A and B are shown apart, each in its own frame.
Chain A
Amino acid sequence: MTEGGIKRRGVVTSLGQGFLRSETTVAIVLFALLAGLPVVVSGYTIYILPQYLLYGMLAMSLGLLWGFVGILSFGQAAFFALGAYAMGLSETWGLGPNPAYVGLMASLVTGAVLAAAIGYFLFSVDVRHVYFVLVTLALSIMVEQITVSQSQVTGGYNGMYVPRMSLLTGASGALSLSKDAAIYYFILPVVATVYSLLRWVLARPFGKVLVGIRENEDRLIALGFRTPLYKTAAFAVSGAVAGLAGALYGTHANFVSPSLGGVLFSTQVVVWVAIGGRESLLGALLGAVAVSALSTYLSALIPNYWQLALGIVFIAVIIAFKGGVAGAVMRVAERSAGRKEHG
């Protein structure tokens, strides 16, 4: 490598840290714009946007794992579907004084506990990461099939109706989220909070250790880190986020069906994250929102060709643009910043 090459790459990282700061700026601007959106837009956009945002939350749950810990899961949809069923069952059975809270809590706990159990079971003996992909793939299949077969509880193939939740606020009243704008203003802050919390976690020592696992797990072990516990914890957080997103999705869409946990949806999440940019949570979020919005729009016009194009883009990203769109944006930003420095 030449001297110039070394120098340039040195500059890249200090700018990479700058990029994190600018990601924060972009995120703040984005969430602020989304918060203002219902003032100017209404109708279908405001109805559908929360669902895309929840897909984005699901994508962040994978981005955390894949981009920061280096573990790929092909089963995130399983947690999403379980979260949605938890919400649906809690509402159907009328659990507790306010089934909505029970449903939200249950989805979080189900996702976290199931992921922690699977994670610890496999990570504690250092199961190879490619095998982990297969196990999570099997998890998706199992969740899909179990929800199909337990039709007396889940409604089987036909799926299950999930009412829009209403939240008890104090002793006096309840906050109904049946209006599209109302649930929009509930889901948006949740997604923004989850994004911020994940960013915060990643900036903590815990998050830095996760990145260390991605970079060089053997080195960390030799320094005395119990990496299986860190990986298990990361997977549990990821499962909880996916589960919560699923619960909110169920109550927003009023419906949950087995295919929500299936392999095809699970791998759709992988496509979103790959295209959006696996090493940026915002990239994953926006990848999911953009791709699913485009899917809705283009599926009506050119259903098969759109999916085909998506597959080709996915392959292209894996071959040539490992960082996805977020990575490409970062590279462009660096290049223009580098030019300024020289000029």
Chain B
Amino acid sequence: MSTPVSVLVDATLITFVFALAALGLAVIFGLIGVINMGHGAMLTLGAYFTWFATTSGVPFVLAIVLAAGGVCVIGVLLEHLVIRYFYDRPFETLLLTWGFFLVATEVIKIVFGTDLRTVENPLPGAIDAGVFVLPAYESMVAVISFALLAALGLILFNTTVGIKVRALAQNAEVASLLGLNIGLTYKWVFGVGSFLAGLAGALISPMLSVDPYIGNIFLVRSFFVVIVGGIGQVLGGTLIGSFLIGGSETLFALFAGQVVSQTIVFALAIMVLRFRPSGVLRAR
């Protein structure tokens, strides 16, 4: 039964799930300007690692940390072996990360097979709050997503490292004058972004059935979240973008089918891209 309140709850949960899925992309795209077309594959890897760990008897909490760590290692390797030589060529990094997607997807198929896998929901059930019902696991994911955004905000705006990294995003020359090791910082940012992507994949895995293309559901949406919110607006932008993309998709789906509403949202995102290329939250 959809009441206004339950729709609002759904939209809120979706917003935070989308924000979680887009966060790794927002970090890499917003801070070092790499269009990571392998983001979807990183989500998928996170999901499969979680599936593998939990079915091997590892507790869920440990499994998601291991999964995120594993994706982080893969991301740093990718950066170290390939991406770091192409930072000044956005087109090439786009293609190379897509190449990473192709390779990672085939490796997943070879290692894990193509059957649908399910990760058991560690928090089944729901919280009955009277006027509405909150699914327990989704709510926890929303809280984690919010916590990650807040933590990232604290790091970016209140620590010296964060301020230097933001300086790098603005102007590499100035950042190097501030004594920032640019190569190492890029590596760190890429690693953190990959970690977040892996973590998102891990946390999302109990909500969907896991297949080799699960991450691609979120790839284009994540890009639109980042673009609509405003590149470089890692926090507010991601949240606003997620709300506009995910939340509005939920709302449109009330009146039209799932597909139609998604098409409308994509079309709207393209409009934003054209008329406000620097995002809804425009950097001054």
Q: In the complex they form, do A and B come into direct contact, defined as C-beta atoms under 8 angstroms apart?
A: yes
- Nearest to A142 among chain B residues (CB) is B263
Beta-carbon contacts of B95-135 to A below 8 Å, as 1s and 0s? 11011101101110110000000000000000000000000
Contacts of B216 in A (CB 8 A): 263
Contact-size category for B: 35 or more
Contacts of B110 in A (CB 8 A): 304-305, 308
- B90 interface residue per 8 A CB criterion: yes
- B269 interface residue per 8 A CB criterion: yes
Determine if B277 and A131 form an interchain contact, defined as CB atoms under 8 angstroms apart. Answer: yes
Determine if A138 and B224 form an interchain contact, defined as CB atoms under 8 angstroms apart. Answer: yes
Contacts of A127 in B (CB 8 A): 273-274, 277
What is the predominant secondary structure among interface residues of chain B facing chain A? Answer: helix
Determine if A138 and B270 form an interchain contact, defined as CB atoms under 8 angstroms apart. Answer: yes
- A122 contacts which of B257, B266, B274 (Cβ < 8 Å)? B274
Contacts of A125 in B (CB 8 A): 274-275, 277
Contacts of A135 in B (CB 8 A): 270, 273
Determine if A138 and B220 form an interchain contact, defined as CB atoms under 8 angstroms apart. Answer: yes
Q: How far is the CB of B219 from chain A (nearest CB, A)?
A: 8
Contacts of B220 in A (CB 8 A): 134, 137-138, 141
- B77 interface residue per 8 A CB criterion: no
- Nearest to A143 among chain B residues (CB) is B263
Determine if A319 and B106 form an interchain contact, defined as CB atoms under 8 angstroms apart. Answer: no
Determine if A130 and B91 form an interchain contact, defined as CB atoms under 8 angstroms apart. Answer: yes
Contacts of B262 in A (CB 8 A): 145
- A315 interface residue per 8 A CB criterion: yes
Contacts of B275 in A (CB 8 A): 125
- B58 interface residue per 8 A CB criterion: no
Determine if B266 and A130 form an interchain contact, defined as CB atoms under 8 angstroms apart. Answer: no
What is the predominant secondary structure among interface residues of chain A facing chain B? Answer: helix
- B223 interface residue per 8 A CB criterion: yes
- B227 interface residue per 8 A CB criterion: yes
A303-327 residues at the B interface, CB under 8 angstroms: 304-305, 307-308, 310-312, 314-315, 318-319
Known A122-B274, A131-B277, A145-B262: A318·B103 in contact at CB below 8 Å = no
Q: How far is the CB of A338 from chain B (nearest CB, A)?
A: 28
Determine if B96 and A315 form an interchain contact, defined as CB atoms under 8 angstroms apart. Answer: yes
Contacts of B273 in A (CB 8 A): 122, 127, 131, 134-135
- A295 interface residue per 8 A CB criterion: no
Q: How far is the CB of A316 from chain B (nearest CB, A)?
A: 9
- Nearest to B259 among chain A residues (CB) is A149
Known A131-B273, A312-B103: A141·B96 in contact at CB below 8 Å = no
A contact set with B: CB distance below 8 Å: 72, 121-122, 125, 127-131, 133-135, 137-138, 141-142, 145-146, 148-149, 263, 267, 270-271, 274, 304-305, 307-308, 310-312, 314-315, 318-319
B contact set with A: CB distance below 8 Å: 35, 82, 85, 90-92, 94-96, 98-100, 102-103, 105-107, 109-110, 216, 220, 223-224, 227, 257, 259-260, 262-263, 266-267, 269-270, 273-275, 277
Contacts A135-B273, A315-B103, A318-B95 aside, 12 further interface pairs with beta carbons under 8 A come to: A72-B91, A130-B35, A131-B277, A133-B94, A134-B35, A138-B224, A267-B98, A270-B98, A304-B106, A304-B110, A311-B102, A319-B82
